[in-house]
Structure 1
Amino acid sequence: MPRSSNQKLKLLYLMKILQEKTDEHHAITVPELITELARYDISAERKSIYDDLEALKLFGLDIVSARGRTTGYYLASKDFELPELKLLVDSVQSSKFITHKKSMELIKKIESLCSVWEGQSLQRQVYVAGRVKTMNESIYYNVDKIHTGIVDNKKISFKYFEYSVTKEKVFRHGGVRYVASPYALTWDDENYYMIAYDSSAGQIKHYRVDKMTDIAMTEEGRDGSEHFQNLDIAVYSKKLFSMFSGEEETVRIEFENRLIGVVIDRFGRDVSAVPSDEAHFVVSVSVAVSPQFLAWVAGFGSEAKILSPESVVEKLTVLLRAALRQYGNPAAAATKQGA
């Protein structure tokens, strides 16, 4: 009988079968290996299988024999352990900037890194439907183009948009293209941002990657490298609340003791917390004073208080007064209720 053209690929297919069909709970016998190889139009005898398994062990595969009523073989060590793959699946399905379609595609690829049996275990923890996901499928290509600009030391041009109340794209600057020098990508508050230098404004800016479109490389070299030489992107991101810009200030805030975990989550374990009395502590943090930062502090109600500088205290006071006006005169409402 003529030999199949796949016969030369026997070792590769044997490795594929072990990767896809076996794990520590699912061994495969030699007769089963012969049957699986036949699916690829490859003939094999028992002795040749034993020789092939030894060759794959010499190659570095961690093939273990499981003895019972029959002897089976399985691949004990793989590039990723099951808990690591579960972590990757969790990250993909919870990432807002990855679309529903791309989430399912990526999870399917992650499943291919383990056995079919372990893949079924991964599927049981997939909950993508109903999650808030970006509507912009091109984000993956945007990331690639931005990385290319960084690596090639070139400026990029792009259009930037927002959504209207009718969920339609509205381009900023009337659709005129932005030009910026990309330096980094960062993930903050479940969104992807490009950190770049804007030559026309002479300052560092950041842009939501899923709101960028029509990205193109330019032939012009990047500007602003001196601004990034000593810039710690993690520190830069930590100063911004929901990546909204504002004037940078060192702000002293007093919190109730029970909020220490929240403060560490926001500013890191290195934040200096000084007790002010038995029930409170004070931190001094460098932040971009934006409405989002002020709203974050206001959200703790009487459990947090900005102490200084006075200009930031005044900004919070103005914000709270404006919010009160949205709901009329609270004092009058309380009097009417008590009458």
Structure 2
Amino acid sequence: MKGMNDMSDSPELLRLRIMYIYRILCEKTDADHGITMNGIIEQLADFGISAERKAVGADIEALRLMDSSIVSRTGRYADYRLTKREFGLAELKLLADAVNSSRMLTAEQKETILTKLRGFAGEHQAKELRRQLRIPKKQNTPDSEVFGTIDIIYKALAEKKQIRFKYFSYEMDKKKHYRDSERVCSPYELVWNDEFYYLVAYYPNRGKVVNFRVDRMEDVRLMSEPCVPLPKGFDMEQYLGSIFSMFGGEETSVRLRFHSSLAGPVIDRFGRDISFIPDDAEHFHINVTVRSQSTFFGWLTQFGAKAEILTPEVRKAYADFLRSILAVNGDEG
């Protein structure tokens, strides 16, 4: 950047100067921290640009016409500051915590994204984004290729094209074990659930809509064949609301009875649109459609005697499920 101060007030210098002033305001200030006129002139000098106070003041006024969040304070503590940003500090903290807690990202990927997020904050707020979020250690090793997989899936969704990929699982040896053949499917939705991405797609080998965990997909390729249309009458919102932990299965209609203290967890699971039907002063019941009974039963078990299945055939299946657990874990004494 040396030599720019030799350009006097050339158009090139004027354009660069106003751009660097805005950069300085973005990096050095926020609603709680300002920078003085002398401070701006010193920062410009670091970029090889010399400027007089009058010229800098005129540039700031021009910037204020573009961005009303640039304000100035007059008097003894006169300074300039950028009071609003694309993302507020609370929003950036939320995004940073989401990145930090992701089980899908490697440590290197997390740091790359966090560095970019800090770029949306001034240097003072960026320090707060460096706080350490305590995350329980998970027993998985993220796949660094998952970003590339997601990019291809998004392209397939946009172009409504089929994809081909290898699918694997982990077994006792903790190594990847690939399924016998490559999968070909028609992608419909990319869903974030339980800290993982899942692809909802039509899988012709099973003749129905199924879910694939994205970090278990490998060598994903976009095909030229168009997607098979969603099955007639298929309701994506209803489907996503009926699955537990992204396990599929046949639909089952079930009536559930809960103690009123469980209203919160029920809303968390089924959404605020679920209808609560009062039974008495302390209980209510709901009617829902679920898939994968075993994962549904696992979710229900945490509530103990405060949750009850009223649908006879599902109630019996739940009792059998509990008996099978007791057979392995029951008191033998």
TM-score with structure 2 setting the length: 0.90
Aligned residue identity for 2:133: Y
Secondary structure, counterpart of 1:275 in structure 2: strand
Residue among 42, 45, 49 paired with 2:52: 45
Aligned equivalents of 1:12 and 1:322: distance in 2? 69
2:308 matched residue in structure 1: 305
Instruction: State whether residues 257 and 307 of structure 2, in contact with CA within 8 Å, keep that contact through their aligned partners in structure 1.
Output: yes
Spell out, residue by residue over 1:93-140, the C-alpha distance to the aligned partner (whole angstroms, 9 max, x if none). 22332333222221111111011001112222x326654365112222
Structure 1 residue 226 displacement after superposition: 4.2
What is the total number of aligned residue pairs between the two structures? 325
Q: Corresponding residue for 2:318?
A: 316
- Asked whether 1:178 is paired with 2:180, we answer no
**Residues 188, 237 of structure 1: 8 Å contact kept:** no
1:268 aligns with 2:267: no
Partner of 2:214: 209
| 2:260 aligns with one of 254, 257, 262 | 257
Give the alignment's Cα RMSD to 1 decimal. 2.2
* Matched AA of 1:202: G
- Indicate conservation of the 8 Å contact 1:199/1:224, yes or no: no
Cα distance in 1, alignment partners of residues 168 and 156 from structure 2 = 21
Q: Distance in 2 between matches of 1:262 and 1:24?
A: 38
How far off is 1:15 after superposition? 0.8
| CA distance in 2: counterparts of 1:105 and 1:129, whole angstroms | 18
Q: Is the 8 A contact 2:157 2:189 kept in 1?
A: yes
Deviates more, 1:13-22 or 1:79-88: 79-88
> Runs of 4 or more off by more than 6 Å in structure 1?
none
SS state at 1:276 partner:
strand
Which residue identity lines up with residue 127 of structure 1 in the other structure? L
* CA deviation map 1:223-257 (0-9, x unaligned): 13344x75233x32221111111221110122222
Match of 1:336? none
Q: Which runs of 5+ in 2 are unaligned?
A: none
Q: Which AA in structure 1 matches 2:179? A: R
The one-letter code of the counterpart of 2:310 is: L
- After the TM superposition, which residues 1-339 of structure 1 pair with which residues of structure 2 at under 5 Å, given as runs? 2-3=6-7, 7=13, 8-124=15-131, 126-127=132-133, 131-132=137-138, 135-173=142-180, 176-227=181-232, 231-233=235-237, 235-310=238-313, 312-327=314-329, 330=331, 333=333
Contact 2:101 2:135 (8 Å CA) reproduced: no
SS of 1:2 mapped into structure 2: helix
Moved more, 110-119 or 262-271: 262-271
- Note closer, same or farther for the CA distance 1:307–1:66 as it changes in structure 2 (3 Å cut): same
Match of 1:123, SS?
coil
The AA in structure 1 aligned to 2:207 is G
SS at match of 2:25: helix
The one-letter amino acid of 1:65's match is S
CA distance in 1, matches of 2:77, 2:53: 14
Q: Is the alpha carbon distance of 1:82 and 1:68 closer, same or farther for their aligned partners in structure 2, counting shifts above 3 Å?
A: farther
Distance 1:36 1:266, change over 3 A: same
Q: Gaps (5+ residues) in structure 1?
A: 334-339
Q: TM-score, normalised by structure 1?
A: 0.88
Between stretches 97-106 and 14-23, larger displacement belongs to 97-106
Identity in percent: 38
Q: How many Å separate the matches in 1 of 2:300 and 2:129? A: 39
Q: Distance in 2 between matches of 1:19 and 1:265?
A: 39
